Protein backbone atom coordinates (compact mmCIF):
# COMPACT_ATOMS: atom_id res chain seq x y z
CA UNK A 1 0.00 0.00 0.00
CA UNK A 2 1.44 3.36 -1.00
CA UNK A 3 1.43 6.47 1.16
CA UNK A 4 -1.09 8.10 -1.16
CA UNK A 5 -4.36 8.76 0.65
CA UNK A 6 -7.10 6.40 -0.53
CA UNK A 7 -10.42 5.56 1.00
CA UNK A 8 -10.65 1.86 0.12
CA UNK A 9 -14.42 1.91 0.35
CA UNK A 10 -14.99 2.25 -3.37
CA UNK A 11 -11.54 3.66 -4.08
CA UNK A 12 -12.56 7.25 -3.36
CA UNK A 13 -9.46 9.41 -2.78
CA UNK A 14 -9.10 10.86 0.70
CA UNK A 15 -7.38 14.19 1.17
CA UNK A 16 -6.68 15.40 4.74
CA UNK A 17 -8.27 18.76 5.48
CA UNK A 18 -8.39 21.04 8.52
CA UNK A 19 -10.43 19.48 11.30
CA UNK A 20 -13.77 20.98 12.25
CA UNK A 21 -13.08 22.88 15.47
CA UNK A 22 -16.63 22.24 16.68
CA UNK A 23 -16.47 18.44 16.44
CA UNK A 24 -15.77 16.29 19.49
CA UNK A 25 -12.16 15.14 19.93
CA UNK A 26 -11.35 12.39 22.41
CA UNK A 27 -7.78 12.35 23.71
CA UNK A 28 -7.13 9.02 25.43
CA UNK A 29 -4.51 9.61 28.12
CA UNK A 30 -5.33 13.32 28.44
CA UNK A 31 -3.50 13.74 31.76
CA UNK A 32 -0.24 12.16 30.64
CA UNK A 33 2.82 13.82 29.19
CA UNK A 34 1.68 13.62 25.56
CA UNK A 35 -2.08 13.70 26.06
CA UNK A 36 -2.06 16.83 28.21
CA UNK A 37 0.11 18.62 25.65
CA UNK A 38 -2.28 17.63 22.86
CA UNK A 39 -5.24 18.94 24.87
CA UNK A 40 -3.42 22.25 25.44
CA UNK A 41 -2.64 22.49 21.73
CA UNK A 42 -6.17 21.69 20.57
CA UNK A 43 -7.74 24.17 22.97
CA UNK A 44 -5.25 26.85 21.94
CA UNK A 45 -6.18 26.19 18.31
CA UNK A 46 -9.88 26.79 18.99
CA UNK A 47 -11.24 23.25 19.37
CA UNK A 48 -14.47 23.59 21.34
CA UNK A 49 -15.20 20.01 22.43
CA UNK A 50 -12.05 18.22 23.60
CA UNK A 51 -12.80 15.42 26.05
CA UNK A 52 -10.83 12.98 28.17
CA UNK A 53 -11.40 10.54 31.00
CA UNK A 54 -9.12 9.66 33.89
CA UNK A 55 -8.26 6.02 34.50
CA UNK A 56 -10.52 6.14 37.55
CA UNK A 57 -13.43 7.28 35.37
CA UNK A 58 -12.69 4.91 32.48
CA UNK A 59 -10.44 1.84 32.53
CA UNK A 60 -9.42 1.42 28.90
CA UNK A 61 -8.19 -2.08 29.71
CA UNK A 62 -11.85 -2.97 30.31
CA UNK A 63 -13.51 -3.70 26.98
CA UNK A 64 -17.09 -3.22 28.12
CA UNK A 65 -16.31 0.13 29.74
CA UNK A 66 -14.47 1.34 26.65
CA UNK A 67 -17.27 0.41 24.24
CA UNK A 68 -19.89 1.96 26.51
CA UNK A 69 -17.92 5.21 26.63
CA UNK A 70 -17.57 5.42 22.85
CA UNK A 71 -21.27 4.69 22.32
CA UNK A 72 -22.19 7.52 24.66
CA UNK A 73 -19.51 10.09 23.75
CA UNK A 74 -19.46 9.47 19.96
CA UNK A 75 -16.18 11.32 19.25
CA UNK A 76 -15.43 12.32 15.67
CA UNK A 77 -11.64 12.42 16.13
CA UNK A 78 -9.56 10.18 18.42
CA UNK A 79 -5.95 10.54 19.54
CA UNK A 80 -4.69 7.42 21.33
CA UNK A 81 -2.02 8.72 23.71
CA UNK A 82 -2.95 6.41 26.60
CA UNK A 83 -0.31 3.81 27.41
CA UNK A 84 1.62 2.18 30.21
CA UNK A 85 5.10 3.69 29.88
CA UNK A 86 8.36 3.66 31.82
CA UNK A 87 12.14 3.60 31.65
CA UNK A 88 14.65 0.74 31.48
CA UNK A 89 14.09 -0.36 35.09
CA UNK A 90 10.30 -0.44 34.83
CA UNK A 91 10.29 -2.18 31.45
CA UNK A 92 12.81 -4.79 32.57
CA UNK A 93 10.97 -5.50 35.82
CA UNK A 94 7.38 -5.63 34.58
CA UNK A 95 7.36 -6.91 30.96
CA UNK A 96 4.03 -8.72 31.40
CA UNK A 97 2.34 -5.49 32.51
CA UNK A 98 3.79 -3.47 29.63
CA UNK A 99 2.72 -6.06 27.06
CA UNK A 100 -0.71 -6.92 28.42
CA UNK A 101 -1.86 -3.45 29.47
CA UNK A 102 -0.86 -1.77 26.23
CA UNK A 103 -2.32 -4.48 24.00
CA UNK A 104 -5.64 -4.27 25.83
CA UNK A 105 -5.77 -0.47 25.76
CA UNK A 106 -5.00 -0.31 22.04
CA UNK A 107 -7.33 -3.10 21.00
CA UNK A 108 -10.26 -1.81 23.03
CA UNK A 109 -9.93 1.79 21.87
CA UNK A 110 -9.44 0.86 18.21
CA UNK A 111 -12.31 -1.62 18.16
CA UNK A 112 -14.65 0.82 19.91
CA UNK A 113 -13.64 3.64 17.54
CA UNK A 114 -14.16 1.32 14.59
CA UNK A 115 -17.65 0.45 15.80
CA UNK A 116 -18.48 4.18 15.84
CA UNK A 117 -16.94 4.77 12.41
CA UNK A 118 -14.37 7.28 13.66
CA UNK A 119 -12.65 8.59 10.54
CA UNK A 120 -9.69 10.54 11.90
CA UNK A 121 -7.72 8.43 14.35
CA UNK A 122 -4.10 8.99 15.41
CA UNK A 123 -2.21 6.19 17.15
CA UNK A 124 0.92 7.22 19.04
CA UNK A 125 3.74 4.74 19.46
CA UNK A 126 7.42 5.03 20.31
CA UNK A 127 10.81 4.97 18.63
CA UNK A 128 11.62 1.79 20.58
CA UNK A 129 9.66 -0.15 17.92
CA UNK A 130 12.76 -0.14 15.72
CA UNK A 131 15.57 -2.73 15.77
CA UNK A 132 18.28 -2.23 18.38
CA UNK A 133 21.00 -1.91 15.77
CA UNK A 134 19.04 -0.13 13.06
CA UNK A 135 21.04 2.10 10.75
CA UNK A 136 21.07 5.71 11.94
CA UNK A 137 19.11 7.84 11.44
CA UNK A 138 16.26 5.34 11.63
CA UNK A 139 13.89 5.27 8.66
CA UNK A 140 10.31 4.09 8.95
CA UNK A 141 10.96 1.12 6.66
CA UNK A 142 13.47 -0.44 9.09
CA UNK A 143 10.53 -1.68 11.19
CA UNK A 144 10.69 -5.46 11.75
CA UNK A 145 14.09 -5.83 10.08
CA UNK A 146 16.08 -6.84 13.20
CA UNK A 147 16.09 -7.71 16.89
CA UNK A 148 14.57 -5.31 19.41
CA UNK A 149 16.27 -3.87 22.50
CA UNK A 150 15.83 -6.56 25.16
CA UNK A 151 15.12 -4.14 28.01
CA UNK A 152 11.84 -2.90 26.48
CA UNK A 153 10.90 -5.49 23.86
CA UNK A 154 7.50 -6.23 25.46
CA UNK A 155 6.45 -2.58 25.21
CA UNK A 156 7.83 -2.35 21.67
CA UNK A 157 5.90 -5.42 20.50
CA UNK A 158 2.68 -3.91 21.86
CA UNK A 159 3.31 -0.68 19.95
CA UNK A 160 4.15 -2.56 16.76
CA UNK A 161 0.81 -4.34 17.14
CA UNK A 162 -0.84 -0.91 17.33
CA UNK A 163 0.71 0.14 14.02
CA UNK A 164 -0.54 -3.07 12.44
CA UNK A 165 -3.97 -2.37 13.93
CA UNK A 166 -4.09 1.00 12.16
CA UNK A 167 -2.90 -0.51 8.88
CA UNK A 168 -5.46 -3.31 9.17
CA UNK A 169 -8.32 -0.85 9.65
CA UNK A 170 -7.16 1.07 6.59
CA UNK A 171 -6.98 -2.14 4.54
CA UNK A 172 -10.22 -3.76 5.68
CA UNK A 173 -12.47 -0.75 6.30
CA UNK A 174 -10.93 2.07 4.28
CA UNK A 175 -10.74 4.54 7.16
CA UNK A 176 -7.80 6.98 6.93
CA UNK A 177 -6.27 6.17 10.32
CA UNK A 178 -2.62 7.10 10.88
CA UNK A 179 0.27 6.38 13.26
CA UNK A 180 3.06 8.59 14.60
CA UNK A 181 6.21 7.41 16.36
CA UNK A 182 7.75 10.08 18.60
CA UNK A 183 11.33 10.11 19.75
CA UNK A 184 12.18 10.64 23.46
CA UNK A 185 9.76 13.24 24.80
CA UNK A 186 10.00 15.57 27.78
CA UNK A 187 8.22 18.55 29.25
CA UNK A 188 5.32 19.46 31.58
CA UNK A 189 3.47 16.55 33.21
CA UNK A 190 6.33 14.11 32.65
CA UNK A 191 6.85 11.20 35.05
CA UNK A 192 9.67 12.17 37.42
CA UNK A 193 9.38 9.04 39.58
CA UNK A 194 12.78 7.47 40.42
CA UNK A 195 11.44 4.01 39.59
CA UNK A 196 9.24 4.71 36.58
CA UNK A 197 10.66 7.66 34.68
CA UNK A 198 12.59 7.92 31.44
CA UNK A 199 16.16 9.17 31.33
CA UNK A 200 15.68 12.93 31.00
CA UNK A 201 13.12 13.50 33.81
CA UNK A 202 15.06 11.04 35.99
CA UNK A 203 18.21 13.12 35.50
CA UNK A 204 16.38 16.37 36.22
CA UNK A 205 15.09 15.04 39.52
CA UNK A 206 18.40 13.41 40.49
CA UNK A 207 20.49 16.50 39.85
CA UNK A 208 17.98 18.95 41.31
CA UNK A 209 17.72 16.95 44.54
CA UNK A 210 21.50 16.63 44.68
CA UNK A 211 21.94 20.37 44.24
CA UNK A 212 19.37 21.09 46.94
CA UNK A 213 20.99 18.61 49.35
CA UNK A 214 24.52 19.81 48.65
CA UNK A 215 25.85 16.31 47.85
CA UNK A 216 29.20 16.03 46.14
CA UNK A 217 28.49 13.36 43.51
CA UNK A 218 25.66 11.92 41.41
CA UNK A 219 25.75 8.39 39.99
CA UNK A 220 24.04 7.56 36.71
CA UNK A 221 23.46 4.21 35.03
CA UNK A 222 25.68 2.97 32.20
CA UNK A 223 28.58 4.63 30.46
CA UNK A 224 26.95 7.85 29.32
CA UNK A 225 27.92 7.14 25.70
CA UNK A 226 24.53 6.21 24.15
CA UNK A 227 23.09 8.93 21.97
CA UNK A 228 19.50 10.08 22.32
CA UNK A 229 17.19 12.50 20.53
CA UNK A 230 14.87 14.64 22.66
CA UNK A 231 11.70 16.43 21.55
CA UNK A 232 9.71 18.83 23.70
CA UNK A 233 6.17 17.53 24.15
CA UNK A 234 4.63 20.82 23.01
CA UNK A 235 6.39 20.31 19.68
CA UNK A 236 5.00 16.77 19.62
CA UNK A 237 1.47 18.06 20.15
CA UNK A 238 1.92 20.56 17.32
CA UNK A 239 3.13 17.75 15.05
CA UNK A 240 0.13 15.58 15.96
CA UNK A 241 -2.38 18.21 14.87
CA UNK A 242 -0.37 18.87 11.73
CA UNK A 243 -0.39 15.19 10.78
CA UNK A 244 -4.11 14.85 11.40
CA UNK A 245 -4.74 17.74 9.04
CA UNK A 246 -2.06 17.08 6.40
CA UNK A 247 -1.00 13.41 6.32
CA UNK A 248 -2.68 10.24 5.16
CA UNK A 249 -0.84 6.96 4.68
CA UNK A 250 -0.40 3.48 6.17
CA UNK A 251 3.24 3.97 7.13
CA UNK A 252 3.97 5.29 10.61
CA UNK A 253 5.55 8.75 10.68
CA UNK A 254 8.65 9.43 12.79
CA UNK A 255 8.37 12.57 14.91
CA UNK A 256 11.60 14.07 16.19
CA UNK A 257 14.17 16.81 15.79
CA UNK A 258 16.65 15.04 13.53
CA UNK A 259 19.57 15.59 15.95
CA UNK A 260 20.85 13.83 19.07
CA UNK A 261 23.24 14.15 22.04
CA UNK A 262 24.99 11.67 24.34
CA UNK A 263 23.50 10.83 27.72
CA UNK A 264 26.66 12.31 29.24
CA UNK A 265 26.08 15.59 27.41
CA UNK A 266 22.46 15.81 28.48
CA UNK A 267 23.46 15.02 32.09
CA UNK A 268 26.06 17.80 32.04
CA UNK A 269 23.53 20.26 30.60
CA UNK A 270 20.92 19.39 33.23
CA UNK A 271 23.49 19.67 36.02
CA UNK A 272 24.32 23.16 34.79
CA UNK A 273 20.68 24.21 34.47
CA UNK A 274 19.79 23.10 38.04
CA UNK A 275 23.02 24.48 39.53
CA UNK A 276 24.69 21.19 40.53
CA UNK A 277 28.45 21.71 40.84
CA UNK A 278 29.54 18.28 42.10
CA UNK A 279 30.92 15.27 40.24
CA UNK A 280 29.07 12.84 37.99
CA UNK A 281 29.96 9.15 38.23
CA UNK A 282 28.81 6.33 35.94
CA UNK A 283 27.85 2.84 37.12
CA UNK A 284 29.06 0.77 34.16
CA UNK A 285 27.62 -2.43 35.64
CA UNK A 286 24.17 -1.13 34.68
CA UNK A 287 22.80 -1.43 31.11
CA UNK A 288 23.11 1.34 28.56
CA UNK A 289 20.18 0.30 26.43
CA UNK A 290 20.20 0.98 22.71
CA UNK A 291 23.50 2.63 21.64
CA UNK A 292 21.78 5.24 19.47
CA UNK A 293 18.23 6.19 18.59
CA UNK A 294 18.02 9.00 16.08
CA UNK A 295 14.95 9.15 13.88
CA UNK A 296 14.96 10.01 10.21
CA UNK A 297 12.33 12.75 10.01
CA UNK A 298 12.29 13.13 6.22
CA UNK A 299 8.69 11.93 5.92
CA UNK A 300 7.60 14.41 8.59
CA UNK A 301 9.43 17.25 6.84
CA UNK A 302 7.80 16.28 3.54
CA UNK A 303 4.45 16.55 5.31
CA UNK A 304 5.39 20.16 6.15
CA UNK A 305 6.49 20.05 9.80
CA UNK A 306 9.76 20.60 11.69
CA UNK A 307 10.56 21.00 15.39
CA UNK A 308 10.66 24.52 16.80
CA UNK A 309 11.67 24.32 20.49
CA UNK A 310 15.43 24.12 21.12
CA UNK A 311 16.78 21.63 23.67
CA UNK A 312 18.25 24.42 25.80
CA UNK A 313 14.96 26.32 25.97
CA UNK A 314 12.96 23.15 26.52
CA UNK A 315 15.17 21.96 29.37
CA UNK A 316 15.07 25.31 31.14
CA UNK A 317 11.27 25.48 31.03
CA UNK A 318 10.94 21.83 32.10
CA UNK A 319 13.18 22.35 35.13
CA UNK A 320 11.07 25.39 36.07
CA UNK A 321 7.89 23.31 35.75
CA UNK A 322 9.37 20.47 37.82
CA UNK A 323 10.42 22.81 40.62
CA UNK A 324 6.97 24.38 40.70
CA UNK A 325 5.17 21.04 40.86
CA UNK A 326 7.61 18.53 42.41
CA UNK A 327 5.88 18.34 45.78
CA UNK A 328 2.71 17.03 44.10
CA UNK A 329 4.39 14.57 41.70
CA UNK A 330 4.03 10.81 42.01
CA UNK A 331 6.79 8.77 43.61
Residue 34 among known ligand-binding residues = yes
Go through the chain and tell me how many residues it has.
Answer: 331
Dmax (CA) for the chain in angstroms is 68
Q: How far apart are CA 277 and CA 76, in angstroms?
A: 51
Beta partners for residue 71, in sequence order: none
Q: What angle do the packed helices 263-274 and 199-213 form, to 10 degrees?
A: 40
Contact residues for 107 (Cβ-Cβ < 8 A; gap 6+): 165
Residue 32 among known ligand-binding residues = yes
- Do 186 and 246 touch, CB atoms closer than 8 A? no
Beta partners for residue 280, in sequence order: 218
Task: Say how many C-beta atoms besides its own lie within 10 A of residue 240's C-beta.
Answer: 25
Q: Choose, from 155, 186, 207, 247, the residue flagged as catalytic.
A: 155
155 catalytic? Reply is yes
Beta partners for residue 178, in sequence order: 122
Q: How far apart are CA 63 and CA 58, in angstroms?
A: 10
- Do 128 and 84 touch, CB atoms closer than 8 A? no
Residue 198 among known ligand-binding residues = yes
Residue 159 among known ligand-binding residues = yes
CA 36, distance to chain mean position in Å, is: 12
Residue 170 among known ligand-binding residues = no
Beta partners for residue 232, in sequence order: 186
Residue 33 among known ligand-binding residues = yes
Q: What angle do the packed helices 311-325 and 263-274 form, to 10 degrees?
A: 50
Residue 35 among known ligand-binding residues = yes
Residue 228 among known ligand-binding residues = yes
Residue 31 among known ligand-binding residues = yes
Residue 99 among known ligand-binding residues = no
- Strand order across the beta sheet in which 261-262 lies: 261-262, 227-228, 292-293
Residue 221 among known ligand-binding residues = yes
- Do 108 and 151 touch, CB atoms closer than 8 A? no
Contact residues for 310 (Cβ-Cβ < 8 A; gap 6+): none
The 3-state DSSP class for residue 195 equals coil
Residue 183 among known ligand-binding residues = yes
Residue 29 among known ligand-binding residues = yes
Q: Mind telling me the catalytic residues?
A: 155
Which residues sit in the known binding site for NADP(+)?
Answer: 29-35, 124-127, 159, 182-185, 198
Which residues sit in the known binding site for substrate?
Answer: 206, 221, 228, 288
Which residues sit in the known binding site?
Answer: 29-35, 124-127, 159, 182-185, 198, 206, 221, 228, 288
Amino acid sequence: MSDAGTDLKGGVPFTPTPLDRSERVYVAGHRGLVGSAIVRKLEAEGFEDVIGRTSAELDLKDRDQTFAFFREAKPKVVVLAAAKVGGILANSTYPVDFLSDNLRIQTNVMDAALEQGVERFLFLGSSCIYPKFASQPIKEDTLLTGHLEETNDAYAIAKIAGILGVQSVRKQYGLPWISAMPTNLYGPNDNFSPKGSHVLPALIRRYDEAAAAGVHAVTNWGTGTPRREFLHVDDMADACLHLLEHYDGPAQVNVGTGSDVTIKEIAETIAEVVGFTGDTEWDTTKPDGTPQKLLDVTKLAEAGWTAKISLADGLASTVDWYREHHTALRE
